[in-house]
Amino acid sequence: MNDDSFAEYVREDESLFALKPNNITMEEAAVIPLACETNYQALFKKVSSPIGNKSKILICGGSTVTGLYAIQLAKAVGAHVTATCSKRNFSLMEKLGQNYDVVYDCVGGEQQWTSA
């Protein structure tokens, strides 16, 4: 793979490309592989001890785009995943098969944030 990401045209092996589904925008199609690749590199390539079966991992911001990919990639290799999210995203975390919930409240909470 070349480092010519700002080029108008790119010459690359066709096996590295996929067709964009009709139901997503070009912007969405650009973000999906970036979020997935970012997590793949962080979890398996750019660390001294890549995660694997029975690894324990904490994912902060589990309901974000990168958090969702991190959870799925970690679970795919058998890791025990704990993720943080806001209350409104608890059901999403349950759908992804979180092992347990941790509820925490930062000092002052939302009332202090809105009055600051």
For 26-73, what is each residue's pLDDT tens digit?
988 888 888 888 899 999 988 888 888 889 999 988 888 889 999 999
More confident residue, 37 or 111: 37
Domain boundaries, the chain: 54-100
Tell me if 56 sits within 8 A of 32, measured CB to CB: no
- pTM for the whole thing? 0.68
